[in-house]
Chains A and B, each alone.
Chain A
Amino acid sequence: MYNNNKDTDSIKQDTQLADNVKQEEKEKKPKKLFTYINLDKISKKAINIFVVISVLLLVGVLFGYLIRAIVLKG
């Protein structure tokens, strides 16, 4: 419902504020062509954990299979 108590100036101010917020949000958006992930919101610690898990997985799988092959051969 339209608020009758508000005068024209305050409505204009509100509109201006809303426009400013929209503009700021627009500027905050990444300027990449296509974005898979917004890395600005991810901490370096989280990425480091991801790297460590991936390294452990790869080392485990690759060397696990290598050790398995050596054991089977032996």
Chain B
Amino acid sequence: MSENKKSFSEKLKQGLEILKQSPKNIYDKTKKEILNNIDRKKKAIENFKTLDKKEKITFVKEKLIDNALYIIIFLFVIGVSIYNSKFISKASIINIVNQSAPRLIMALGVGGIIVLTGTDLSAGRIMAFVSIITASLLQSTDYASKMFPSLKFSPWLILLSFIISIIIGGLFGALNGLVVAKFKLHPFIVTLGTQLILYGLILWYVSLGSNNNQPLGGVDRTYGNVILGGFTLGSKENGIYISNYLWYALIITVIMWTVWNKTKIGKNMFAVGSNEEAAAVSGVSVFLTIVVVFTIAGVLYSFTGMIETVRVGSNSPSTGVEYELDAIAACVIGGVSFMGGVGKIRGIIMGVLLLQIVQAALVFLDLTSAPQKMVKGIIILLASAIDMRKYIAKK
């Protein structure tokens, strides 16, 4: 017993030592990575200089094709800014960032699944289900069309709904992952099934109590402040208002970056996505990796759901429609390869922002949702074509 205690205290001491050193280690490693990147770029420039004229042209042509999407969007944004200077105004930029934040959280979840060469069509419905449940639990006590009139609002309900949301998201994510990993079914069909189940559950849930299939609104101001509250950066007249949910999105992004780049599960995820058999031979538990990645994704969708409950205001069964498609599109635009094993968090951030910028630009051109969808579709086609081209070139 005393030996056990001793070994435990020794382990605790060792753990504390590692914890003390870890920020320095992380700093050193990051510094080393940055320096390596700079060296690599310097070498690439030197190599470019040694090429003959024909090779230089080929190199530039290849780079142009690889970055064609970004170049076109950049030129389009310049065009729209000239057409309407309000597009690059502070208000417009803040609006784009605000719109992007919840979608980014969802895209981070979908991104992990795409790295595994999968996809998730149930993301939007998981988000909607969480959004509706949160709204129903957190309606103001004096709200006229309250779904559960006997349920009085209390700040404790915020914590309860948070826990319930995380559990729901995690459970549906884990269910997707379990079916995919155990039965080797394609995630496309598994998540399609889950999506329909969730839609049924949403329709059933909104008919409960005295709601009578009405959209759920009237979320209490206390919870509203938790999400939409914030502070103004700079003066009150000309400052930038930063909502709390932007911070939440930022924190989640940092956590996901750490998970992808610094943890075992992140490394396993890329290994399984690159080559499942090789990963299994190397001792990676393919089953566990798939389940964990899907579960994390489910939890991230529920975070988006909790934000959208307040941001959207009126939560109905149509909430979350096409959210998953936007998330998948953002990942593909951001370079998360459908061929698996490739993807970066900064790419996903870039993808979400680019998609949102294009959407905002089309609104500035007074276009309806029809051309917006068309453009989004073409962007996805081009992004996947470039992705395939890169894959073939690498081979």
Which A residues form the contact surface with B (CB < 8 A)? 31-37, 39-40, 42, 44, 47-48, 50-51, 54-55, 57-59, 61-63, 65-66, 68-70, 73
Known: A57-B382, A58-B382, A65-B371. 7 other contacts (CB 8 A): A33-B290, A34-B186, A44-B392, A44-B393, A66-B79, A68-B365, A69-B366
Complex Cα–Cα for A66 and B10 (A): 68
Q: List 11 A-B contacts (CB under 8 A).
A: A31-B275, A33-B290, A33-B340, A34-B116, A34-B117, A40-B395, A47-B388, A55-B382, A57-B381, A57-B382, A66-B76
Specify the main secondary structure of chain B where it touches its partner.
Answer: helix
Interface string of B367-395 (1 = CB under 8 A from A): 10001001100110110011011011101
Which B residues form the contact surface with A (CB < 8 A)? 65, 68-69, 72, 76, 79-80, 83, 116-118, 186-187, 272-273, 275-278, 286, 290, 338-340, 358, 362, 365-367, 371, 374-375, 378-379, 381-382, 385-386, 388-389, 391-393, 395
Complex Cα–Cα for A54 and B138 (A): 46
Complex Cα–Cα for A47 and B65 (A): 12
**Which residue of the partner chain A has the closest CB to B73?**
A62
Those 7 A-B pairs whose CB atoms lie nearest each other, nearest first: A54-B382, A69-B365, A33-B276, A51-B385, A50-B385, A62-B76, A31-B277
Provide the residues of chain A in CB contact with B388, threshold 8 Å. 37, 39, 42, 47, 50
Provide the residues of chain A in CB contact with B378, threshold 8 Å. 54, 57-58, 61
Given A31-B275, A34-B187; A44-B389 close (CB under 8 Å): yes
Complex Cα–Cα for A43 and B68 (A): 20
B375 touches A58 (CB 8 A): yes
Given A55-B68, A59-B72; A66-B375 close (CB under 8 Å): no
Given A66-B83, A69-B365; A32-B186 close (CB under 8 Å): no
Given A58-B379, A59-B72; A33-B272 close (CB under 8 Å): yes
Complex Cα–Cα for A36 and B395 (A): 17
Complex Cα–Cα for A70 and B392 (A): 40
Provide the residues of chain B in CB contact with A50, threshold 8 Å. 385, 388
**Which residue of the partner chain B has the closest CB to A59?**
B72
A69 touches B83 (CB 8 A): yes
Given A33-B276, A34-B118, A69-B83; A61-B389 close (CB under 8 Å): no
**Residue among A32, A42, A58 making CB contact with B72, cutoff 8 Å:** A58
**Residue among A33, A48, A62 making CB contact with B389, cutoff 8 Å:** A48
B276 touches A31 (CB 8 A): yes
A47 touches B392 (CB 8 A): yes
Given A47-B389, A61-B378, A63-B76; A31-B68 close (CB under 8 Å): no
Complex Cα–Cα for A71 and B385 (A): 32
**Which residue of the partner chain A has the closest CB to B367?**
A65
The minimal Cβ–Cβ distance linking A65 to chain B, given in whole angstroms, is 6
Provide the residues of chain B in CB contact with A31, threshold 8 Å. 275-278
A65 touches B365 (CB 8 A): yes
**Which residue of the partner chain A has the closest CB to B374?**
A61
Provide the residues of chain B in CB contact with A33, threshold 8 Å. 116-118, 272-273, 276, 286, 290, 340
Provide the residues of chain B in CB contact with A73, threshold 8 Å. 83
Complex Cα–Cα for A40 and B394 (A): 12
**Which residue of the partner chain B has the closest CB to A54?**
B382
The minimal Cβ–Cβ distance linking B329 to chain A, given in whole angstroms, is 13
**Which residue of the partner chain A has the closest CB to B69?**
A58
Complex Cα–Cα for A39 and B286 (A): 24
The minimal Cβ–Cβ distance linking B294 to chain A, given in whole angstroms, is 12
Provide the residues of chain A in CB contact with B186, threshold 8 Å. 34
**Which residue of the partner chain A has the closest CB to B358?**
A62
